[in-house]
Amino acid sequence: AQLDRYCVFGNPIQHSKSPAIHAMFASQTGQTLEYSARLAPLDSFVPSVQQFIAEGGKGANVTVPFKLEAYALANHLSERAAIAGAVNTLTFSDGVIVGDNTDGVGLVRDITENAKTAIVGRRILLLGAGGAARGALLPLLAQQPASLTIANRTISKAEDLVQLAHATKTYRGEIEAKTWQDLNGSFDVIINATSASLQSEVPPIPYTVFADTSFAYDMMYSDGQTSFNRYAEQAGARTRDGLGMLLEQAAEAFFIWRGVRPQTAPLFAHFRTKGSV
Ligand code: NDP
């Protein structure tokens, strides 16, 4: 019988770690499958997916810049993908395309389980309101933080996330949108979901927000320390970058497809020492 086939679509895609991650998950759990990286032309994401389905593909991950197109393509969406407006995990079965978003749950699992940091009852500051922040919204609120403050360069995008949060109705804490300049008070946990670290920049937030911060998380992953985490450490916070989130979102996708939850800790050690980011 043919191997079950999966892939990741992106553009560019050659540096993706997903094929190596899923191959390691498969061998660890004794599953037999094939997982490849596929470069989709910028104007041909949908035909590329259809081609993969025609070849017998069972599921796919989706990365930059196709997460919105994947959302539009799906016939069925999980609630967290519907709220995020973005899809990173597609499952193909019986002609139906199911879309999910595992980025946010990957973030929350990395913070709460791997970094052993509670979100429940804490004051959380989320920096950024792009795709990664949207994906994180519902999983973060499900942890019932005391408050969630979303700060973004473009305030309207932070306000949109606050509206989405109100629509979920399950969250009982406070939620507010701020610009960098309006930020005041201090926070227990600060999560950087901006792409500022890619340019070695730090969002221009007042240093005082770190006064009581015990933990800071940068979704970007890097072998060296990210500029945001360096800033947070100077303020006395414990820090973590997004490698664990990357592994956890992959583990959740693997679980959706295969019904088995792989362990991420051995991969964390592998990718960290390999220096492959
Ligand atoms: P988007 O392009 O969707 O959003 C970018 C966000 O960053 C926006 O809020 C934008 O603000 C803000 N921003 C960009 N440049 C700056 C700057 N110089 N100063 C302040 N704010 C800035 O990106 P994503 O949400 O997809 O990704 C964000 C980060 O998360 C990236 O670093 C990415 O690598 C990481 N990521 C990590 C994952 C993981 O598994 N570890 C998974 C997904 C993402 P504005 O709205 O004003 O433009």
Per-residue pLDDT tens digits for 32-51 = 999 999 999 999 999 999 99
What's the pLDDT score for residue 260? 98
What token pair was written down for 258?
């295969």
Coil, strand, or helix at residue 5?
A: strand
User: Sorting pLDDT into bands at 50, 70 and 90, what band is 169?
Assistant: confident
CA distances from 167 to 104, 108, 146, 160, 172 (A): 18, 21, 18, 11, 12
For residue 90, give its domain range.
4-101+244-274
User: Are both 118 and 210 inside the same structural domain?
Assistant: yes
Q: How many domains does the chain have?
A: 2
| Residue 59 clears pLDDT 50, i.e. is over it | yes
User: Are both 219 and 248 inside the same structural domain?
Assistant: no
The CATH number of residue 143's host domain is 3.40.50.720
What's the pLDDT score for residue 167? 84
Q: What is the mean pLDDT of residues 92-100?
A: 96
What atom in ligand 1 is closest to the CA of residue 221?
A: 41
Query: Cα(9)–Cα(61) distance, rounded to whole angstroms?
Result: 6
**Backbone torsions φ then ψ of 23, nearest 5 degrees:** -65, -40
> What residues does 100 pair with on adjacent strands?
89
152 marked ligand binding residue: yes
What's the pLDDT score for residue 276? 38
What's the pLDDT score for residue 1? 67
| Residue 69 clears pLDDT 50, i.e. is over it | yes
What is the chain's alpha carbon radius of gyration, rounded to the nearest angstrom? 19
234 marked ligand binding residue: no
Residue 19, preceding peptide bond in cis (omega within 30° of 0): no
User: Are both 235 and 113 inside the same structural domain?
Assistant: yes
User: Are both 61 and 150 inside the same structural domain?
Assistant: no
User: Are both 165 and 270 inside the same structural domain?
Assistant: no
* All residues at 6 or more sequence positions from 43 whose CB lies less than 8 Å from its CB, including other chains: none
For the complex shown, is ipTM > 0.95? yes
Residue 41, preceding peptide bond in cis (omega within 30° of 0): no
What atom in ligand 1 is closest to the CA of residue 249?
A: 40
User: Are both 14 and 65 inside the same structural domain?
Assistant: yes
| Residue 277 clears pLDDT 70, i.e. is over it | no
User: Sorting pLDDT into bands at 50, 70 and 90, what band is 222?
Assistant: confident
Q: What is the mean pLDDT of residues 111-117?
A: 97
Q: Which of 244, 252, 247 is nearest to 89 (CA)?
A: 252
User: Are both 198 and 149 inside the same structural domain?
Assistant: yes
Ligand 1 atom 16: residue of nearest CA: 196
| Residue 99 clears pLDDT 50, i.e. is over it | yes
| Residue 211 clears pLDDT 50, i.e. is over it | yes
Counting beta carbons within 10 angstroms of the beta carbon of residue 150, is it exposed (0 to 12), middle (13 to 18) or buried (19 or more)?
buried
Coil, strand, or helix at residue 1?
A: coil
Ligand 1 atom 6: residue of nearest CA: 194
The CATH number of residue 30's host domain is 3.40.50.10860
What's the pLDDT score for residue 97? 98
Q: What is the mean pLDDT of residues 230-237?
A: 94
Q: Which of 158, 139, 129 is nearest to 100 (CA)?
A: 139
Pocket test of ligand 1: the residue of 127, 194, 217, 247 to mutate, having most ligand atoms within 8 Å of its CB, is: 194
Residue type present at position 122: R
User: Sorting pLDDT into bands at 50, 70 and 90, what band is 274?
Assistant: low
